[in-house]
């Protein structure tokens, strides 16, 4: 008992000592933590700007320059504010701003604990430092600090937030935020924004207008109705209205009415001091994707690839030419110019008029459209890659293409002008843009391989996935898939650049407002897509005015006198899109005309005569004459002929080696693909002398035929799924309609029976006078069953009987002078007989009348 009591006393003593030490440790930790926090606070606070400067800053300007340093757009050069007082701010704007930016604004002391936890959580997940900014913190970022996302900057931001909240009332902080926040372009503060977007005082804003403005400061370059992505402001506004309803500021009915009003909002016409606006906003969107949406608002200097001299020339041409097309129901056009060797964008005109309220802001250079026949060069590039040549003959005749399903109708393409031109070499099918040969060629080279090479050349929507293969058919070579003008022009630059692909580029360098380089282009990164030989063949055809002569004539807008320019046009079947894309070795130009609402143009629009072609013609002519004051900026011509491309004289009609009686022409071939003989379509056929049909074996054996040359076209149908050769059916139907018999060889074989006996008397000849009484009787006998007997008769009397199989007779008979009838009768083992008769004379005329004794 004594020991038990003593043990209890001892344990109590130990507990008290442990608690005492624990309290000392905790107290020490708190003191150390306080000292550390104080020192940390002091460290980060020592260089902080004073909160009193909140309304005294001007911000940094973001500038876009062309490649020579000329200003395209100074985003904040004209930054101006129209400060407003708190009593001028309508409740709807206050509520909308708080709802979308900081719903606990009136509850916290400058920092959102939940926001901080969310930011830490994002850091732990590797998402970077994002989230957690209150209105107070955003005000500090906008005015006192940069928006760099670092932990130290976040701590400084929190310290300042505490200080601002200590110095100012909540409504004062909110007012400063509304007066100092960016609202897009040169609009800083709600006073300027209300005037700039709606033409009214801020106090007169309605609910939806307030919601629009409240949604902008988070990312003004994205959400601005003037400079942001199309219609993103609408979704942002609807999000603001939803948050206002969730926070109890408006009712469900008000939200619904507001969302209906969003689509009816009318803005004032924006007046921006900007060059190449579509290009500038294209570059702006690329910057935001690469560096985040806030980079535009941080003040950067962006040196672009654009050549302002080229841009201004193109803008004027588009404006002038589109104005001429109103009677054709053409309301818009777009042009992009690339450096052929680097892929750099030299000019981008996205619409007829950027300031047009209906469609001006939409950049048609980036819009998805069907390219029509402008895509055909890619099909033929694949063909040349697989060994076909510019002299390969394709039959331009009405042809059915199997759909692959018995339930679907066959595909029957037609040519632009509705005509069929029969046999055509690839040089002329591509030059004249014939549809049926292009579809046949795609069937021969394969849709999958076509999609692959198109994708590799820059058509980003043509990736050969299973879904694409199910969606695209043979019509894709006539423009059945969608692409953008920028992508198609980039693909053509591969032809211009010896088969090498450059990534499209628009930025040369980026620097921040302190002059530090953020990015600098480090040269061109090229990838070989097609061989220089294939690129040369395509370029030579597209620059050959004779190759397109039949359809376009000698003086179309595709022919620029004194210049060598490769070009291809395209027009969709429904006349919704009209294209012209072409190049020299220095520049590649793509043109589109049509309507933004996708309505069809007038049917009189014609490739090579109206629409895109005149714009292309004027653009190329102007740009190839442009100088930098000393020399021309851009040169014409295609790349030089590679060594592995050989010139050869060929048959101008069917593309083989030259043939007697037919004209010749020169053609280029990749080494190893040159023709080795005349065209196989030339056929010598044995025709029966008896009936004009195909000679049978007996007639051929007996020489009873004439050999005659025909042109016989044959094609195999590689897409047939039922055994029918629809391509040959189309060829045969076309041949029957031709007036020239050379296309119509007999198809039936002579009906001379295999059991018939054919006797051909070789000597004497009919009506011959033999000058000797010893007459040689020679004959050739043909019979499939063997001959068993031959009789020779003179004037009806048998003079000789020959038994046994034989195919020749060579006998001599002595006859006196006079006129005679020779008759040879042959019988075969089937007891079938045949005879041949002729008259001749012996030392007398064959018709000599012998005196009666």
* pLDDT tens profile 517-564: 999 998 768 999 999 999 999 999 999 999 999 999 999 999 999 999
Q: State how far the alpha carbon of 167 is from the alpha carbons of 89, 136, 175, in Å.
A: 22, 12, 14
Q: State how far the alpha carbon of 703 is from the alpha carbons of 263, 285, 463, 697, 823, in Å.
A: 88, 81, 61, 10, 20
Q: What is the CATH number of the domain that holds 385?
A: 3.40.710.10
Residues in the chain: 853
Task: List pLDDT tens digits, range 768-811.
Answer: 999 999 999 999 888 778 899 999 999 999 999 999 999 899 99
pLDDT of residue 8: 56
Task: List pLDDT tens digits, range 646-696.
Answer: 999 999 999 999 999 999 999 999 999 999 999 999 999 999 877 889 998
Task: List pLDDT tens digits, range 713-727.
Answer: 999 999 998 899 999
pLDDT of residue 58: 46
The CA distance from 520 to 331, in Å, is 39
Task: List pLDDT tens digits, range 747-767.
Answer: 999 887 656 787 889 999 989
**Which among 535, 534, 502 has a CA at the least distance from the CA of 638?**
535
The CA distance from 297 to 294, in Å, is 5
pLDDT of residue 46: 45
Q: Which residues pair with 187 in a beta bridge?
A: 80
pTM across the whole model: 0.73
SS3 at position 414: coil
Q: Which residues pair with 581 in a beta bridge?
A: 568, 590
Alpha helix (H) residue ranges in 267-408: 277-291, 308-323, 376-385
Q: What is the CATH number of the domain that holds 771?
A: 2.60.40.10
Identify the band that residue 118 occupies on the pLDDT scale cut at 50, 70 and 90. Answer: low
Could you give the angle at the alpha carbon of 623 between the alpha carbons of 621 and 625, nearest 5°? 75
Helix (H) or strand (E) holding 175: helix 170-180
Whether 114 and 95 map to the same domain: the answer is: yes
Collect all residues with Cβ–Cβ distance below 8 Å to 557 and sequence separation of at least 6. 580, 608, 609, 613, 614, 616, 617
Instruction: Give me the mean pLDDT over the 103-123 stretch.
Output: 71
φ, ψ dihedrals at 697, nearest 5°: -60, -40
Whether 170 and 284 map to the same domain: the answer is: no
Q: What is the CATH number of the domain that holds 148?
A: 1.10.3810.10
**Which among 539, 530, 529, 525 has a CA at the least distance from the CA of 639?**
539
φ, ψ dihedrals at 243, nearest 5°: -65, -35
707 pLDDT above the threshold of 80: yes
Collect all residues with Cβ–Cβ distance below 8 Å to 834 and sequence separation of at least 6. 756, 757, 758, 759, 825, 826
Q: State how far the alpha carbon of 161 is from the alpha carbons of 48, 99, 174, 208, in Å.
A: 11, 19, 13, 30
67 falls within a domain:
no
pLDDT of residue 852: 54
Q: Are 813 and 794 in contact (CB under 8 A)?
A: yes
Whether 230 and 283 map to the same domain: the answer is: no
The CA distance from 247 to 211, in Å, is 14
Whether 266 and 326 map to the same domain: the answer is: no
Instruction: Give me the mean pLDDT over the 326-342 stretch.
Output: 95
Whether 669 and 686 map to the same domain: the answer is: no
Whether 586 and 697 map to the same domain: the answer is: no
The CA distance from 564 to 634, in Å, is 13
- For residue 782, how far is the Cα from the chain centroid? 66
Whether 10 and 100 map to the same domain: the answer is: no
Share of the chain above pLDDT 70, in %: 86
Whether 216 and 110 map to the same domain: the answer is: yes
749 falls within a domain:
no
Could you give the angle at the alpha carbon of 226 between the alpha carbons of 224 and 230, nearest 5°? 75
Whether 114 and 229 map to the same domain: the answer is: yes
Mean pLDDT of the residues in the chain: 87
pLDDT of residue 62: 81
853 falls within a domain:
no
612 falls within a domain:
yes
52 falls within a domain:
no
Whether 785 and 701 map to the same domain: the answer is: no
pLDDT of residue 54: 58
The CA distance from 185 to 187, in Å, is 5
Q: Are 371 and 488 in contact (CB under 8 A)?
A: yes
Identify the band that residue 151 occupies on the pLDDT scale cut at 50, 70 and 90. Answer: low
Whether 364 and 494 map to the same domain: the answer is: yes
pLDDT of residue 37: 44
Angle between helices 207-214 and 190-198 (to 10 degrees): 120
Identify the band that residue 313 occupies on the pLDDT scale cut at 50, 70 and 90. Answer: very high
79 pLDDT above the threshold of 80: no
558 falls within a domain:
yes
34 falls within a domain:
yes
Instruction: Give me the mean pLDDT over the 176-199 stretch.
Output: 87
- For residue 437, how far is the Cα from the chain centroid? 20
Q: Which residues pair with 342 in a beta bridge?
A: none
173 pLDDT above the threshold of 80: yes
Collect all residues with Cβ–Cβ distance below 8 Å to 764 and sequence separation of at least 6. 770, 775, 776, 777, 822, 838, 840
Q: Are 483 and 461 in contact (CB under 8 A)?
A: yes
Whether 350 and 414 map to the same domain: the answer is: no
pLDDT of residue 129: 46
Number of domains in the chain: 7
Task: List pLDDT tens digits, range 412-463.
Answer: 999 988 999 999 999 999 999 999 999 999 999 999 999 999 999 999 999 9
Collect all residues with Cβ–Cβ distance below 8 Å to 467 and sequence separation of at least 6. none
Collect all residues with Cβ–Cβ distance below 8 Å to 108 and sequence separation of at least 6. 134
pLDDT of residue 604: 82
Q: Are 521 and 507 in contact (CB under 8 A)?
A: yes
What DSSP letter does each residue of 722-756 carry, written as one string? SS--HHHHHHHHHHHT-S-GGG----SBP---TT-
Domain membership of residue 660 as a residue range: 643-673
537 falls within a domain:
no
Share of the chain above pLDDT 90, in %: 63
Task: List pLDDT tens digits, range 221-235.
Answer: 789 888 777 789 999
Q: Are 204 and 98 in contact (CB under 8 A)?
A: no
SS3 at position 213: helix
pLDDT of residue 288: 87
The first and second tokens of residue 540, run together, are 């030579």
pLDDT of residue 11: 59
277 pLDDT above the threshold of 50: yes
Identify the band that residue 574 occupies on the pLDDT scale cut at 50, 70 and 90. Answer: confident
Which of 22-31, 618-627, 665-674 shows the lowest mean pLDDT across its residues?
Answer: 22-31
Q: Are 772 and 786 in contact (CB under 8 A)?
A: no
pLDDT of residue 34: 43
User: What does the DSSP 8-state code read for residue 666?
Assistant: E
φ, ψ dihedrals at 660, nearest 5°: -55, 135
């Amino acid at each position: 008992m004594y020991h038990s009591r003593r043990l209890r006393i001892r344990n109590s003593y130990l507990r008290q000592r442990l608690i005492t030490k624990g309290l000392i440790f905790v107290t020490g930790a708190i003191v150390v933590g306080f000292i550390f926090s104080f020192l940390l606070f002091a460290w980060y606070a020592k260089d902080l700007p004073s909160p009193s400067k909140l309304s005294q800053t001007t911000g940094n300007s973001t500038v876009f320059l062309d490649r020579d340093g000329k200003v395209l757009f100074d985003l904040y050069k004209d930054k101006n504010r129209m400060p407003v007082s708190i009593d001028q701010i309508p409740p709807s704007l206050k509520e909308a701003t708080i709802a979308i930016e900081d719903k606990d604004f009136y509850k916290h002391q400058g920092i959102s604990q939940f926001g901080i936890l969310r930011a830490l959580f994002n850091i732990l997940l590797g998402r970077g430092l994002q989230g957690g900014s209150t209105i107070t913190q955003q005000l500090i970022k906008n005015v006192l600090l940069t928006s760099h996302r670092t932990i130290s900057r976040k701590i400084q931001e929190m310290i300042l937030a505490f200080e601002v909240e200590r110095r100012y009332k909540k409504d004062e902080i909110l007012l400063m935020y509304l007066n100092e926040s960016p609202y897009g372009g040169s609009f800083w503060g709600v006073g300027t924004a209300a005037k700039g977007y709606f033409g009214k005082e801020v106090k007169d804003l309605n609910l939806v207008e307030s919601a629009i403005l409240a949604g902008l400061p988070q990312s003004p370059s994205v959400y601005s109705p003037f400079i942001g992505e199309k219609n993103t402001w609408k979704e942002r506004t609807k999000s603001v209205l939803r948050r206002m309803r969730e926070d109890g500021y408006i009712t469900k009915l008000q939200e619904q009415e507001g969302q209906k009003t969003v689509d009816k909002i009318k803005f004032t016409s924006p007046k921006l001091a900007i060059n190449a606006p579509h290009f500038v906003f294209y570059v702006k969107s690329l910057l935001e994707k690469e560096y985040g949406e806030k980079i535009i608002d941080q003040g950067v200097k962006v040196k672009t690839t654009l050549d302002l001299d080229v841009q201004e020339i193109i803008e004027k041409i588009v404006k002038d030419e589109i104005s001429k097309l109103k009677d054709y129901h053409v309301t818009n056009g777009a042009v992009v110019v690339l450096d052929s060797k680097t892929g750099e964008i030299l000019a981008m005109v996205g619409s007829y008029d950027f300031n047009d309220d209906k469609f001006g802001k939409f950049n048609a250079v980036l819009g998805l459209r069907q390219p029509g026949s402008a895509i055909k060069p890619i099909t033929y590039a694949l063909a040349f890659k697989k060994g076909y040549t510019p002299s390969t003959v394709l039959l331009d005749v009405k042809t059915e293409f199997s759909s692959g399903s018995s339930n679907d109708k066959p595909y029957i393409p037609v040519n632009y002008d509705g005509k069929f031109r029969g046999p055509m070499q690839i040089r002329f099918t591509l030059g004249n843009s014939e549809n049926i040969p292009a579809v046949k060629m795609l069937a021969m080279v394969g849709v999958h391989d076509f999609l692959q090479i198109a994708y590799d050349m820059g058509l980003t929507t043509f990736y050969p996935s299973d879904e694409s293969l199910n969606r695209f058919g043979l019509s894709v070579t006539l423009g059945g898939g969608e692409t953008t003008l920028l992508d198609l022009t980039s693909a053509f630059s591969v032809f211009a650049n010896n088969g090498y692909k450059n990534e499209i580029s628009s930025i040369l360098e980026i620097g921040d407002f302190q002059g530090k380089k953020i990015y600098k282009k480090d040269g061109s990164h090229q990838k070989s897509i097609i061989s220089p030989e294939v690129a040369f063949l395509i370029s030579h055809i597209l620059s050959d005015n004779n190759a397109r002569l039949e359809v376009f004539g000698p003086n179309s807008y595709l022919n620029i006198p004194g210049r060598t320019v490769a070009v291809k046009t395209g027009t969709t079947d429904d006349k919704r899109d009209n294209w012209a894309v072409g190049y020299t070795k220095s520049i590649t130009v793509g043109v589109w005309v049509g309507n933004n609402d996708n309505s069809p143009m007038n049917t009189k629009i014609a490739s090579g005569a109206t629409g895109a072609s005149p714009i292309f013609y004027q653009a190329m002519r102007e740009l190839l004459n442009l100088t930098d004051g000393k020399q021309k900026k851009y040169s014409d011509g295609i790349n030089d002929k590679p060594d592995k491309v050989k010139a050869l004289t060929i048959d101008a009609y069917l593309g083989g080696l030259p043939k007697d009686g037919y004209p010749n022409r020169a053609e280029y071939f990749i080494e190893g693909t040159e023709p080795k003989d005349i065209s196989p379509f030339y056929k010598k056929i044995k025709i029966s002398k008896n009936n004009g049909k195909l000679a049978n074996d007996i007639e051929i054996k007996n020489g009873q035929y004439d050999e005659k040359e025909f042109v016989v076209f044959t094609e195999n149908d590689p897409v047939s799924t039922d055994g029918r050769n629809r391509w040959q059916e189309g060829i045969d139907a076309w041949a029957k309609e031709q007036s020239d018999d050379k296309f119509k060889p007999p198809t039936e074989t002579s009906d001379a029976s295999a059991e018939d006996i054919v006797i051909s008397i070789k000597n004497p000849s009919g009506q011959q006078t033999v000058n000797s009484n010893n007459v040689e009787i020679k004959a050739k006998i043909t019979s499939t069953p063997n001959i068993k007997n031959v009789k020779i008769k003179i004037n009806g009397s048998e003079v000789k009987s020959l038994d046994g199989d034989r195919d020749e007779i060579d006998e001599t008979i002595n006859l006196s002078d006079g006129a005679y009838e020779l008759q040879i009768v042959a019988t075969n083992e089937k007891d079938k007989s045949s005879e041949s008769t002729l008259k001749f004379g012996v030392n007398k005329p064959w018709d000599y009348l012998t005196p009666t004794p």
